[in-house]
Chain A
């Protein structure tokens, strides 16, 4: 169905459903991306930053005690050890460098819980680009520490009060800013969502995760893993892990969606397990039903939609998606703390919880690759006060 290289779809999903003035801005962005992705100089500069600034490659770690407990050979891809504490910086670095090459002067970004806003503030400081973050007023209030960090790094925080004053409203405010200021501004989208070219651009910048993991597992195991597991909110860490293994058909993919209080509870964030096809935020994808309140214990999974490429992975059965309830994620959080001395992010805990389920059907020497997308420092207070009190 692709008409030209400016219109990227994934099966029936994806596309560029935006008002006409934005079409042109996005077509330019796609052209710019197509130019840098094959530019050796750009890639060399990005690789250097990923290594010296961000701390890549991240280790691939055989979690032997957890393996014993869960009953499969589990390897953790340690994105939690990256600068900033999560995989988010891979994408932020790529896009910021691209913006700089394109001669832009400003970065803007949306943020929900503040993790992507923080990653954007980091690269804003690094590149010297003026940085403005849009965050729903409700989220600003809930995430004071991230607001402080962003401002310390020189970013301007714009509180969005319209609509529901949440993530979707922050996205809308950022898009409006982009339409008004596209000449000097790059909108640094935080996940594999939105209109083209962001889903494929963010996927490619995150694919360093899977590329490294593939090399590392071949080195350590001498073979590809039997399965790969990652959590899916918008889906950038999962797409980054899966994409380089896409053609390795023997590697099963499992995506952990946030089932919140249960898929039948009316409070979850699992559009692939329970939702419908919609055109949402500029893309055709799957979205939770209208009567479901978006909820997850993990703020980073608290998104009503999902990246369109995941919708296509689901439709074509390349990946199986499972809802992981809050309770199971919290249990996995504790397992990883107790058995490995690693405090994972609540988002990543969903992947660990799904790994436990997948391992039940595996032999103990079957190899399971789990993306540990972020560290849990940001969550400990919440867990201590709200769940383990």
Chain B
């Protein structure tokens, strides 16, 4: 459980110190791990306060076409967990990094590590594979948190425990339909921030910010121990402004950035990196604009952005 945390997490600190925070996503390995390094640094320069790195999984559930295609490109380029962690080992950013991946990648990390162990053949480990080795490696690499879209809160105890042991945050997603007992269960497991999904449906940049955002933030108002960041369908500075105005502590942007990556493909990292930096700048400025139009939350320091 995370309720009794006395030391604030790196992620929570990053959000509170840079309020309203910009959280960005790119899929590692699209189009290559080298390019991802350049993109992450560009987002960091552009004003991202947290950076989510996707660790691609071959069987994602209900990703929109943009992210799905990015995952396919990353897998096509041979991105593996080993390569992913080596990338993170090398990255030096001001923004804390999170890994976003599917639960099977976390479970199979141990299986991959122990595949050669005699007498197991990976098959009959009673109780099944464990989450420890992945979390340990993630902590070693300097990651600050984990997001697992397909892990229900009901099944999250082992990962929650491992994250606590290694000082990582475990972020959960709250959908517009999440309420009552389910919401309570999720909020009892979450740390770092609550990822508020702006609308139903799959990921992808959309033209408007849904009313569901307002409803979700209202529903979450009583859980004031953890910041709330809103994602899904955010592609422009104005969306960011609107979301922050609605009361979010942060804005999450994925598909709009992945579109930039896709557009530039492998024809040189520099133009894509420049475009990502500019986009991050626009979004961060939008978020700040949104914050200016609402009552300033207490304890909010001046944003460092120009």
Contact = CB atoms under 8 A, between A and B. Distances in A.
Interface string B247-285: 000000000000000000000000000000000000000
A233 B281 CA distance: 51
* Chain A CB within 10 A, most for which of B69, B175, B186: B175
Interface in A1-47: 3, 7, 12, 15-25, 27
Interface stretch (A119-127, A214-222, A275-283): A275-283
B9 interface: no
A370 to B, nearest CB: 28
A25 B202 CA distance: 14
Contacts of A289: 122
Nearest to A13: B128
Interface stretch (A172-180, A224-232, A325-333): A172-180
B151 interface: yes
A281 B103 CA distance: 11
B142 interface: no
Interface in B88-147: 102-104, 107-108, 111, 122-123, 125, 127-129
Interface residues of B, number: 41
Interface residues on A, range: 20 to 34
Contact of B59 (A20, A176, A281): A281
Contact of A284 (B68, B128, B174): B128
Contacts of B61: 18-19, 22, 172, 175, 281-282
B202 A17 contact: no
A118 B146 CA distance: 42
* Chain B CB within 10 A, most for which of A3, A179, A276, A280: A276
A101 interface: no
A21 B62 contact: yes
Interface string A268-302: 00000011111111101000010000000000000
* Chain B CB within 10 A, most for which of A20, A175, A274: A20
A20 B72 contact: no
A172 B68 CA distance: 11
Given A15-B155, A18-B152, A276-B123, A175 B128 contact: no
A54 to B, nearest CB: 32
Interface in A165-207: 168, 172, 175-176, 179-180
A278 B108 CA distance: 7
Interface string B49-78: 000000000111110110011001000000
A172 B64 CA distance: 10
Interface of A: 3, 7, 12, 15-25, 27, 162-163, 168, 172, 175-176, 179-180, 274-282, 284, 289
Closest 4 CB pairs of A and B: A24-B177, A21-B175, A20-B175, A279-B104
Interface of B: 58-62, 64-65, 68-69, 72, 102-104, 107-108, 111, 122-123, 125, 127-129, 149-152, 154-155, 172-178, 182, 186, 197, 200-202
